[in-house]
A and B are shown apart, each in its own frame.
Chain A
């Protein structure tokens, strides 16, 4: 379903369920109608067959995919490359690819996907694998010391200010835009994301947002968490407190509510308290929510943010609300060691928890996991007016804006190498290969309109209701009119990292109040803005929000 259509339906107050029902019906009619089938071009039929074939590799419930599977998928998706590159055209070209090795995904997949591409084109790729925690430092050091030693880069949009803003990236050629079918990207990933100064630099391979995952067995008539799934953060906290002393229906262990990660995660942990805060502070009339756009004055100590910190402190002060040792739980722990392993009932995380719940060997919650968008709030804080408004608010956080593949300006002077680099990147960002990465453990979540064709997922072996729920939460978040977009400003993770340090002190009771904790973060952010350069930060902050 196209985003414009979806938005139009939303504007007519259609619920997501009714939209999905309508979509399913349409798909069913399309599947049955001979006239529709006859209308499909041979190319479209071939593509549909291809997508069906790759989704069966290895098949849902057949264990985690292996390198052989990744190579097979890469081989099957080489069609677009073959159309634009002659066999052996890049013989003698060597490229260096820098990316991540999180959970043995990312670069591990890319290697497999690109092996057939290397065999066909004759190019050779050298790999730089980085742990997530080392990524920022490695990238920043390369930039600052003028030692960019990679031609292709896996990078998140928040770093575009650091790279594109300093002229380190190569502009995407038009043929790449055509090959990757860039107009299939969901709305929020369309420009200005991926662009800088009006030029496009990014091949999107991921669409990031945080969604709400919860346990169905905790909610419903007679369930321990109450009849209704919490829809606001106020309700989330109330349920988390009410669950103290109850028993988890799945594991028989103590029941718990929402799983806040209370330990830092190299800056990434700040996203999670931002989920709570966004519901309070992301006002529909204002794109900014972290800083005042005209001055870069932090908003992190306004009453809305302070309320978010207070919510966490309230749960810390409630014995048994969190699992033991939660103060030492980072987001990796809350998602993989706790929620997927059956501890706790509510979680905010990126969308890949949805596919991991069903396809990961270590998950025990595949049958009871359900999804929604970031809980809202019963009231919201209006920063412009400096006052609370007694109006309900929702604001899904587009945390990290997804991974992309970028080509560095190292190749700009060598046309053959440049084409090779963009061809490799385009292969990884192709429409068909992306369906596979959205469906199987990859570290990436759905990011194209075409990913929301539930028939394809059902054919791959997913339970229809589950996939509608999981994908629907992603689509609803991406297309939410009040989505909180992350600013793509230099040093954004420095802001988050220093906030994590101050929050850790606040959570440990070293500050007197949530307000004092928030004031400490704001002071640190002011210092950081002055150090990086206030005027340039203001300009880049506005540009990144499209203001």
Chain B
């Protein structure tokens, strides 16, 4: 008689262990709540005693996390051990992403100027209404429309370069590395090397070249539209390689038999591109464009270094304006409200964009 195999033991979960696990969880939670409440009341000026910093609350949170892990194993055995794989990451995300974001939303609802004698004061949606009436904010948002629209131009250039580098040209490997070099530069370095040196009106090589061509006083940042285009050109020069490399990877992954079949059917290069290559590249293109738009929405460093948003706000971006509001004016509450609103705008914009693109692709097929 063959003995019945013993089922695999994934851990015993007895009512006693579950009770013990629950006690550990609730005990640690109570400890965290007490420590946090104790410090919150002290910080709010309601009680006279408290810790000198919030560090003990952080330690209590760490202890709570450990206790939660232990409690999972005690209460649920092997299932609890599985939870340990994800629990640290969840707690870390809560501490480093979710809590700061929620705290940021709270700050956005306060009147908090660092120079104010009264410190932080809750003021509801006053910052939001102020933002809606702020011409600097709307000007910066308007500029962002221009900057984002220019991503399409960058895409066309990047696609062209990717096609070039995908073709059988001489020194192809060299050009691939050379075209990637701008991406390796920090935008701050680009600001100084290009914007403030090469484009400097008095001694910059680019300005001198234009003088040699007969332009009287070449100024790259004097006229609002020329300044906007100059900033856009520097940013594009830095990030076109990023799109180019993504598109090149997509081109190299294309099945060769499809394009060969098109050629056998008599399609010329132009027809092959529009009829075969481009449609197949749409998924990669969308990814590249969306990522580039996300990068573009953060544009600030080149603007801050080269024009400070000028002339007259012509090159200002939302991020560079928030930076001034924070750094120069220590206006934390209002700056955070703009940052949070901008975050929501970006999320909504990207979500809508993805939906529209998906609908468009469905209609294509």
Using a CB–CB cutoff of 8 Å, the interface residues on chain A facing chain B are: 133-134, 136-137, 140-141, 143-144, 146, 162, 165-166, 263-264, 266-267, 323-328, 330, 337-338, 341, 343, 490-491, 493-494, 497-498, 501, 504-510, 528, 531-533, 536
- Pairs A-B, 9 closest by C-beta atoms: A508-B312, A491-B115, A324-B217, A497-B328, A140-B114, A325-B219, A325-B201, A328-B221, A490-B115
Other-chain residue from B53, B113, B202, B324 in contact with A501 (beta carbon distance below 8 A): B324
Contacts of A263 in B (CB 8 A): 307-308, 310-311
Contact mask B286-320 → A, CB, 8 Å, 1/0?
00000000000000000000111111111000000
**Would you mind naming 14 contact pairs between A and B with Cβ atoms under 8 Å apart?**
A136-B327, A137-B326, A143-B114, A144-B332, A165-B117, A263-B308, A263-B311, A264-B310, A323-B202, A490-B117, A506-B312, A509-B312, A531-B113, A532-B115
Q: How far is the CA of A506 from the CA of B116 in the complex (A)?
A: 28
Contact mask B209-229 → A, CB, 8 Å, 1/0?
000000001111110100100
A491 touches B219 (CB 8 A): no
Nearest-CB distance from A226 to chain B (Å)?
A: 25
Nearest-CB distance from A196 to chain B (Å)?
A: 14
Determine if B331 is an interface residue (Cβ-Cβ < 8 Å).
yes
B310 touches A140 (CB 8 A): no
Nearest-CB distance from B57 to chain A (Å)?
A: 15
Majority-rule SS of B interface residues: loop
Q: How far is the CA of A141 from the CA of B306 in the complex (A)?
A: 26
Contacts of B219 in A (CB 8 A): 324-325, 328
Contacts of B136 in A (CB 8 A): 501
How many interface contacts (CB-CB < 8 Å) are there between A and B?
121
Determine if B235 is an interface residue (Cβ-Cβ < 8 Å).
no
A533 touches B327 (CB 8 A): no
Q: How far is the CA of A501 from the CA of B312 in the complex (A)?
A: 8
Nearest-CB distance from B125 to chain A (Å)?
A: 16
B311 touches A494 (CB 8 A): no
Q: Chain B interface residue count: which class?
A: 35 or more
Other-chain residue from A328, A490, A494, A533 in contact with B310 (beta carbon distance below 8 A): A328
A494 touches B330 (CB 8 A): yes
Q: How far is the CA of A267 from the CA of B200 in the complex (A)?
A: 23
Nearest-CB distance from B194 to chain A (Å)?
A: 14
- Of B217, B306, B310, the most chain A CB neighbours within 10 A belong to B310
B314 touches A508 (CB 8 A): yes
A328 touches B114 (CB 8 A): no
Q: How far is the CA of A166 from the CA of B117 in the complex (A)?
A: 8
Contacts of B257 in A (CB 8 A): none
In the complex, given contacts A263-B311, A326-B222, what are 11 additional A-B residue pairs having Cβ atoms less than 8 angstroms apart? A136-B328, A137-B327, A324-B201, A337-B202, A490-B117, A491-B115, A494-B331, A504-B308, A508-B311, A510-B312, A532-B115
Contacts of A144 in B (CB 8 A): 112, 114, 119, 330, 332
Q: How far is the CA of A504 from the CA of B311 in the complex (A)?
A: 6
CB closest residue in chain B, given A328: B221
- Of A325, A337, A338, A508, the most chain B CB neighbours within 10 A belong to A325
Q: How far is the CA of A141 from the CA of B220 in the complex (A)?
A: 36
Q: How far is the CA of A508 from the CA of B307 in the complex (A)?
A: 13
Determine if B355 is an interface residue (Cβ-Cβ < 8 Å).
no
Determine if B118 is an interface residue (Cβ-Cβ < 8 Å).
yes
Contacts of A507 in B (CB 8 A): 311-312
Q: How far is the CA of A528 from the CA of B52 in the complex (A)?
A: 31
